[in-house]
Structure 1
Amino acid sequence: MVATAQSILFIAPPTAVTTVFSLLKEEGFEVGLADNLRGALGFIKKSKPLVVFSRPSMSGYRVEDLLAEAVQDDGFPPVVVFTEQGSAQEAQRYLEKGAKDYWLEPLDAEKILAAVPAQIPQSSGGAKSQQPSDKSAIIGTHPAIARILALAKQVAKSKATVLIQGESGTGKEMIARYLHQQSDRAGAPFVAVNCAALPEHLLESELFGHEKGAFTGAISRKLGKFELANHGTMLLDEISEMDLGLQAKLLRVLQEGELDRVGGMETVKVDVRVLATTNRELQQWVEEGKFRQDLYFRLNVIPLTLPPLHERGDDVLRLARHFVEQFREQYQLPPLEFSAEAVAWLKSYEWPGNVRELQNLMERSVLLAGAGPISTSHFLLDDTWTPPEEAAEPVEEVSSTPPQDVAEPHAPAPLSGESMENVLADRVLPLSEMERIMIMRGLKQTSGNRTQAAEMLGISVRTLRNKLNEYRSRGLDVP
């Protein structure tokens, strides 16, 4: 992580954070993990996190002690308390002691990003700076991409809804950001919601908000994402996964520009430009009765369909070089080039994971290539890669010492197999590696039963499946 990255601190067990770390890393945040007060205060002093997310208690730690430190320091970051099983009484107690908010698990990355101060650049969640950056630049000159960008720019200043379709990993969200940045709403909030990440009753509250006492745990009024996005843009990601009943309420917002909070008695007017993405054939879902036809027509005013990466010709190499340069700068490595065999392979591969798979592959190759050039062995397609000579020297035995208080990701090359298990107690690993280790442990302990492993890890089976697919795309051996 670059030194200038904004940071977020979690005071919690690693298993509570693994499901959100990858997205926070993609957003450019440095993520710290502490398990006691001393480590937390050390990280806060050094990295000045934007927000601190804390479990109420762990062995030798109480969030009350952290909040006592916070009230004595005007510059202390806001503290959000999150717990597996909470109560209204507990929430009131922590809020009275100075906590900014009180959440029930599981953690959701979009909600975390929405809690980050609005002036900090980010790409989903709450209001943010909308200055275009290299990260949001759309790379490619293929005619299909050029046509999509031209059409997007032409309709960007309108309020028309846009339906962006394409396979997973093709860059649908980046097109949505491009539309927002080119619109008259560029200075207003851009709020993204993953419709597949929450069950129906929680998604309704996230979208439309709720009043105090609307349901158990609703200890105060909460504004929904539509109200947070007022005068800006709302991205409904994976819109096809929204429940049919909630689709009817969404249709009313689109048609009338008004909504009712859960448990509310008054109608709230909103001015929001809505964009939606899906990797489904939505017309087919309409025919099968899985998606409302009237909502489909209302969303499909401007249809944009992104081509899969393998159909974009030389854009593969343009994107590969872009990602290599991006990761080379991030990890402060020397300039890197591709070997002829690597270029040939990049052009011939089918890219089932599309741009996301290419990005992950380029990060891996940059970390393994050293001084370069990048060859196919650095893609870890098989067992042909061997460590450089200097990396093969005997490793000094590490003495047994207490684990460090804070884990800060440093992005070493991924470890694999039993070696991960052997070094976990003696090394500080990036949270992405810790996440993978915990997932593999869960699968091992349940003899490969994904349902039981997901329950043990506190994530959905769908999230576990997506993680395993991600590891496979990176060439890692997974069950």
Structure 2
Amino acid sequence: MKPTIMVVDDELGARQSLEVILEDQFRVLLAESGREALEIIRRETVDLILLDVHMPDMDGLEVLRRIKEEEEGIDVIMVSALNLARKAVDAIKLGAYDYITKPYEPEDILSTVHRVIQQQRLRRELDFLRKEVKESRGLDQIVGQSKAMVEIYNLIKKVAFTSTHILITGESGTGKELVARSIHNQGDRKDKPFVAINCAAIPSELMESEMFGHEKGAFTGAHTRTIGKFEHANGGTLFLDEISALRSDLQAKLLRVLQEKEIERIGSNKPIKIDIRVISATNTNLEEAIAQGKFRQDLYFRLNVVPIFIPPLRERREDIPLLAQHFLNKFNTLYHKKIPGFSEKAMNALTRYHWPGNIRELENLVERIVVLSSGNEQIDLKHIPMEILLSSEQDIQDLMGREMGLIKMRDEFERRVILNALEACQWNQSEAARMLKISRNHLIQKAKQLGILLRKP
């Protein structure tokens, strides 16, 4: 989406000249007076304003002052036919970004505008990163008010100031690493390293070196001494994600490290004392893995001192509205959007969906909607993908609970799907039929059969 530039000048020729220079790379709005400019910024998102200094009715400096009162974050470049030092100083004091004089070269205008837009982008990224860092220091990043999440919050507070080992379980995408980081950041190790290893992502032949490090010459290609993740995490927290993927011989070495609180680099027989808390996570059933001989029982007992189970999103649907709004706020900031929220029908559709990818899938969906949104309108059914609108799992569970016969269940399910499609297409029958992959006549016939009025209620 192109940045929006507004040109404010009482001379038509000056406005048109700047429009020609800018229109290929930017969305350009034109205003012939200060009052018109103020009206535009009240209804439009404007990134930068090129403002003429000398205008009738309202002087450029007065317009600048009022713009900053309305929207302090908008950058303004003052434009003047005269090189007046006093005016330039006054403009900068009132918050103008720069002051340029006519006549100007197109390259000078474009260079200045690009510099402003680039600095805005960097400011947004810096603000976003500062906010992320600030929030990651506490529980702010974990969103939810369900009973299960309240219990997890309380458990985090209890274990944060201990050094006990913790095993976090839950499906993929439920936020296991987020919980691990919160435990670290809430406790007395928060100023020490938090080091994460994904045991499933690192090739098994490299895993030992990754964990414990190696000495120079320990094996072919070991040209220098390398410090392992255990040493990097000394004094802090080591997070072992997907612990079930750890090779059996490394499970034995990990058990010894946890018992002795010391490691040995590959190629060395000198023990190195370490002080770390280990938090592990898995999306598999370790007790089943033990029964199948794939995971050591003694290691399981060492890791599972305090178990934390994170339920899947479908089992805490009351958290979905909070999470959706949280991600919307996050991506509004990141992508410089002002999408106000979700309509009731859109939120109902999100709440009904079963979310096999859990929180990660919801986050990705909200990001997609924000990125593809062309304006700042509320998120409605038309923005929700087909696979979510027509998801059947929760609807079927609801219908099963009502003890209907098979034919009535089918009719009610079809009725819900057709109504969802009509809502998503704003009651356009042809578009709804295409969404459902049936003909318009078939849709009309089916609606009549199911008692659906094909007009917006």
Report the TM-score when normalising by structure 1: 0.52
Q: Is the 8 A contact 2:328 2:370 kept in 1?
A: yes
* Aligned match for 2:235, one of 214, 231, 236: 231
* Aligned match for 2:154, one of 136, 150, 155: 150
Q: What's 1:193 paired with?
A: 197
Q: Which amino acid aligns with 1:374?
A: I
Q: Which amino acid aligns with 2:161?
A: K
Q: 3-state DSSP class of the match of 1:193?
A: strand
Q: In the TM superposition, what whole-angstrom CA distance separates every residue of 1:389-425 from its partner, at most 9, and x where no partner exists?
A: xxxxxxxxxxxxxxxxxxxxxxxxxxxxxxxxxxxxx
Q: What's 2:262 paired with?
A: 258
Residues 1:265 and 1:276: Cα distance change in structure 2 (over 3 Å): same
Q: What's 1:372 paired with?
A: 377
Counting only pairs closer than 5 Å after superposition, residues 167-182 of structure 1 correspond to structure 2 as 167-182=171-186
Q: Which amino acid aligns with 1:277?
A: A
Q: What's 1:37 paired with?
A: none
The answer to whether the aligner puts 1:287 opposite 2:291 as a matched pair is yes
Q: Which amino acid aligns with 1:257?
A: K
Q: 3-state DSSP class of the match of 1:226?
A: helix
Q: What's 1:141 paired with?
A: 145
Q: 3-state DSSP class of the match of 1:314?
A: helix
2-side partners of 1:131 and 1:357: how far apart? 21
Residues 1:130 and 1:376: Cα distance change in structure 2 (over 3 Å): closer
Residues 1:278 and 1:121: Cα distance change in structure 2 (over 3 Å): farther
Q: Using the TM superposition, give the Cα deviation of residue 226 of structure 1 relative to its aligned residue in structure 2, in angstroms.
A: 0.4
Q: What's 1:56 paired with?
A: none
Q: 3-state DSSP class of the match of 2:321?
A: helix
Residues 1:184 and 1:260: Cα distance change in structure 2 (over 3 Å): same
Q: 3-state DSSP class of the match of 1:158?
A: coil
1-side partners of 2:140 and 2:211: how far apart? 25
Q: What's 2:247 paired with?
A: 243
2-side partners of 1:220 and 1:209: how far apart? 11
Residues 1:134 and 1:336: Cα distance change in structure 2 (over 3 Å): farther
Q: Which amino acid aligns with 2:260?
A: E
Q: What's 2:327 paired with?
A: 323
Q: What is the aligned-residue identity percentage? A: 49
Q: Which amino acid aligns with 2:381?
A: T
2-side partners of 1:295 and 1:376: how far apart? 49
Q: Is the 8 A contact 2:137 2:186 kept in 1?
A: no
Q: Using the TM superposition, give the Cα deviation of residue 339 of structure 1 relative to its aligned residue in structure 2, in angstroms.
A: 1.8
Q: What's 1:160 paired with?
A: 164
Q: 3-state DSSP class of the match of 1:184?
A: coil
2-side partners of 1:254 and 1:173: how far apart? 20
Q: Which has the higher helix share?
A: 2
Q: Is the 8 A contact 1:130 1:186 kept in 2?
A: no
Q: What's 1:360 paired with?
A: 364
1-side partners of 2:207 and 2:134: how far apart? 26
Q: Is the 8 A contact 2:138 2:185 kept in 1?
A: no
Q: What's 1:276 paired with?
A: 280
2-side partners of 1:220 and 1:338: how far apart? 55
1-side partners of 2:153 and 2:243: how far apart? 22
Q: Using the TM superposition, give the Cα deviation of residue 302 of structure 1 relative to its aligned residue in structure 2, in angstroms.
A: 0.1
1-side partners of 2:324 and 2:131: how far apart? 23
Larger deviation, residues 336-345 vs 183-192: 336-345
Q: Is the 8 A contact 1:171 1:355 kept in 2?
A: yes
Aligned-residue Cα RMSD (Å) equals 2.6
1-side partners of 2:205 and 2:216: how far apart? 16
Larger radius of gyration: 2
The answer to whether the aligner puts 1:183 opposite 2:170 as a matched pair is no
Q: Using the TM superposition, give the Cα deviation of residue 343 of structure 1 relative to its aligned residue in structure 2, in angstroms.
A: 1.2
Q: In the TM superposition, what whole-angstrom CA distance separates every residue of 1:87-138 from its partner, at most 9, and x where no partner exists?
A: xxxxxxxxxxxxxxxxxxxxxxxxxxxxxxxxx9999xxxxx8873589611
Q: Using the TM superposition, give the Cα deviation of residue 381 of structure 1 relative to its aligned residue in structure 2, in angstroms.
A: 1.9
Q: What's 2:110 paired with?
A: none
1-side partners of 2:250 and 2:130: how far apart? 30
Structure 1 stretches of 5 or more lacking a match? 1-45, 48-119, 124-128, 387-479
Report which structure shows greater RCO (CA 8 Å, sep ≥6).
1
Structure 2 stretches of 5 or more lacking a match? 1-117, 120-128, 390-420, 426-457
2-side partners of 1:122 and 1:280: how far apart? 33
Q: What's 1:214 paired with?
A: 218
2-side partners of 1:140 and 1:293: how far apart? 33
Q: Using the TM superposition, give the Cα deviation of residue 313 of structure 1 relative to its aligned residue in structure 2, in angstroms.
A: 2.5
Q: Using the TM superposition, give the Cα deviation of residue 380 of structure 1 relative to its aligned residue in structure 2, in angstroms.
A: 2.5
Q: Is the 8 A contact 2:198 2:240 kept in 1?
A: yes
Q: What's 2:315 paired with?
A: 311
Q: What's 1:54 paired with?
A: none
Q: Is the 8 A contact 1:364 1:378 kept in 2?
A: no
Q: Which amino acid aligns with 1:356?
A: R
Q: Is the 8 A contact 1:368 1:378 kept in 2?
A: no
Q: In the TM superposition, what whole-angstrom CA distance separates every residue of 1:338-372 from its partner, at most 9, and x where no partner exists?
A: 12221110111101000000000101111233222
Q: Which amino acid aligns with 2:226?
A: K
1-side partners of 2:198 and 2:131: how far apart? 16
2-side partners of 1:122 and 1:142: how far apart? 25
Residues 1:236 and 1:152: Cα distance change in structure 2 (over 3 Å): same
**Number of corresponding residues:** 265
2-side partners of 1:230 and 1:246: how far apart? 19
1-side partners of 2:226 and 2:250: how far apart? 18
Q: Which amino acid aligns with 2:205?
A: H
Q: Is the 8 A contact 2:339 2:378 kept in 1?
A: no
Q: Is the 8 A contact 1:136 1:177 kept in 2?
A: no
Q: 3-state DSSP class of the match of 1:358?
A: helix
1-side partners of 2:244 and 2:310: how far apart? 17
2-side partners of 1:372 and 1:185: how far apart? 44
Residues 1:180 and 1:333: Cα distance change in structure 2 (over 3 Å): same
Q: 3-state DSSP class of the match of 1:280?
A: coil
